[in-house]
Structure 1
Amino acid sequence: MERLVIRAQRRLKVVDSSKLFQGIVIAVIILSALLIGAKTHNLSANTIAVLAILDVAVTVFFAVEITIRYLAFPEKKKFFHSGWNVFDTVIVIGSLIPTGGTGVLLARLLRVFRVLRLVSMVPELRLLINALLKAIPRMGYIALLMFVIFYIYAAIGSMLYHQINEVLWGDVSISMLTLFRVATFEDWTDVMYETMAVYPISWIYYLSFIFLTAFVFLNMMVGTVLEVMGQEHEKFRAEQHGETGDGGEPASRAQIERLEAELAEIKALLKAKS
């Protein structure tokens, strides 16, 4: 009996890891996205009935797919240790909620989120999301410093320009919204020229703010994300080749190149002795 279970688990593992099956899953996810978009149009009754049948088929397929993945997993207790497995399971279970009755809005929203399963199925997309999540703590400090700059400039702008335009500079909160408009370059010159009519040198206020926010802090955000993404790509490449460094961490490129050089020297010595 135990052998049969092991054989069945191996076969399910082969099915789950096969490129054909993964391609089918991705195709069904795309089909699910198209069904969601089609339902937003005015359609005939027959077309709506066909879409409903396809929606049921997609839901059943997702339930079967997550069951196969769970049964193929060697240690069932550790299946939900992966955040992606938890995410996929929640989406699939949520899709089982019928679209009729009081939970119709919730059911539709959960079906919309089925499109996000494409992220969990494509390793490159998972890599991008993991890098973004790991970069958030670092980006938080940059965002905090950015908020401080916004607040200082908003307070100054409210004190200087509130008499010029109460709508844009009435208080600190409104001034921060105005500065956000300036930072995103949304007709910011109109705001600047309005204050320059009263304070000709107020352009210094706007240009210094844009330099700090749009050029300095934004580039710091991008640099942080790129740094973490590079680290994630290095780890992913090392895991794909089964390379690990000291302490169980993925080996760096320098370590790999050093090992390759040492192996080349050993081969050269062996050839010289022979």
Structure 2
Amino acid sequence: MSVTAIQNKLKIIDQSKAFQGFVIFVIVVSALSIGAHTYHLPPWLEKSLLVLDIGITVFFLFELIIRYLASDGPKSFFSKGWNIFDTVIVIGSLIPLGGSTVLLARLLRIFRVLRLVSMVPELRMLINALFKAIPRMGYIVLLMFVIFYIYGAVGSMLFGHINAFLWGDVSIAMLTLFRISTFESWTSIMYETMAVYPLSWMFYLSFIFLTTFTFLNMMVGTVLDVMSEESRLMSEAKLQLAIEQQGILTTENVGSITAPNGLEQTSERVADNENRPATAAEIKQLHAKIDQLTALLLQQQNTQRQP
């Protein structure tokens, strides 16, 4: 069996839903075993969990090797950030639990739960959307900081003599404003200042309107915009994966299919006019014939698979 054939079989195994489902199952079992270590367990159960941990570590290493061999070389494998993440997690899990490294080993094993993110496409989409939204959200956070600073300085000047613990200086006032933006007992703070300044409610309501309503909705809109784009990319990736899983047609199968009527003539016209730029109508016609040929290929492949 050639190296290419072995690699294709490994790709089929790595991309199969059964294998990926089993990997997710092992990740969940690993998370439960990590949580079990936080309880006082009998010695026999501790030893059983230790053996289970060794088996899980070996399986993760085996799964990572399969994924590496199924990829098109080290450059293709390490060009994906999730593969690098999984490699670091698996290598960290190889630290033995015994000796002085037991605490470090258990801490590193906790992060194996994060592999669930790399295995579930929907979770990967959410994380990718979050990271892509961070640069856009950074400008919103910067504008929020400016608003917090202005309101903090004003609040410190107006209310510092009322309650120095909450409004003593601009930094403390900004912390108080953050508490107000989370609606944590903000009315008690407002009523305290309203006893001295009856119109101080305008200060609080305008701040809440700007931060909680406006900026929060801006952040939500930014994340939703990026998530819609990531969802589109994920749909395209799933479609591409489904096409790849159809299998590669052999040269004999391709050769046995008669080209659609008119495709030869279209190709010959393009070849005859090789030095002349093709018109939009010719390109559209050629694309239509190619789509027709692709449909015939898929139809023959499905016919061959039927008993």
TM-score by length of 2: 0.76
Residues 1:32 and 2:30 are matched in the alignment: yes
Alignment partner for residue 208 of structure 2, among 203, 210, 228? 210
**Distance (whole Å) between structure 1 residues aligned to residue 84 and residue 150 of structure 2:** 43
1:43-77 per-residue CA deviation (whole Å, 9 max, x = no partner) reads 11111111111111111110110011101112332
- Determine which structure has more spread, i.e. the larger CA radius of gyration: 2
- 1:1-35: CA deviation from partner (whole Å, max 9, x where unpaired): xx532232222222111111111100000001111
SS at match of 1:231: helix
SS of residue paired to 1:167: helix
Q: Tell me which residue corresponds to 1:95.
A: 93
Q: Match of 1:152?
A: 150
Instruction: Return structure 1 stretches of 4+ with deviation > 6 angstroms.
Output: none
What corresponds to 1:190 in structure 2? 188
Cα deviation 1:187-225 (Å, max 9, x = unaligned): 111111111111111111000000000000000000000
The amino acid of 1:133's aligned partner reads: F
Q: 1:48 aligns with which of 46, 64, 70?
A: 46
Could you tell which deviates more after superposition, 20-29 or 100-109? Answer: 100-109
Q: Matches of 2:224 and 2:14 in 1, distance apart? A: 32
**1:7 matched to 2:32:** no
AA paired with 1:124?
E
- Aligned letter for 1:6? T
**C-alpha displacement of 1:165:** 1.0
SS, match of residue 2 in structure 2: helix
Residue 231 of structure 2, aligned match among 222, 233, 239: 233
Identity of aligned residues (%): 65
Q: Helix, strand or coil: the match of 1:51? A: helix
Which segments of 5 or more consecutive residues in structure 2 lack a partner in the other structure?
A: 242-283, 293-307
User: Partners in 1 of 2:53 and 2:135 — Cα distance?
Assistant: 39
| SS across alignment from 1:33 | helix
- Name the counterpart of 1:110: 108
Which residue is 1:247 aligned to?
A: none
Structure 1 residue 106, shift from structure 2 partner: 2.5
Q: 18, 21, 36: which one pairs with 1:20?
A: 18
- Unaligned 5+ residue runs, structure 1? 244-258, 268-274
Compute the displacement of 1:242 (Å). 4.2
Deviation at 1:231, TM superposition (A): 1.1
Q: Deviations over 1:109-163 (max 9, x none)?
A: 2111111101110111111111111111000000000010001111111111111
SS in 2 for 1:40: coil
For residues 242 and 104 of structure 1, the distance between their equivalents in structure 2, rounded to whole angstroms, comes to: 44
Q: Residue 99 of structure 1: CA displacement?
A: 2.4
CA distance in 2, matches of 1:235, 1:96: 35
Distance 1:101 1:150 in 2: 50
User: Matches of 1:108 and 1:165 in 2, distance apart?
Assistant: 46
Count of residues in correspondence between the two structures: 246
What is the aligned-residue RMSD (CA, Å)?
1.9
Change (3 A) 1:140 1:124: same
Secondary structure in structure 1 of the residue aligned to 2:95: coil
1:241 counterpart SS class: helix
Question: 1:154-187, CA deviations, whole angstroms, 9 ceiling, x for partnerless residues?
Answer: 1111111111111111111111111110000011
Q: 2:69 matched to 1:66?
A: no
The Cα of 1:102 is off from its aligned counterpart by: 3.6
Normalising by structure 1, what TM-score? 0.85
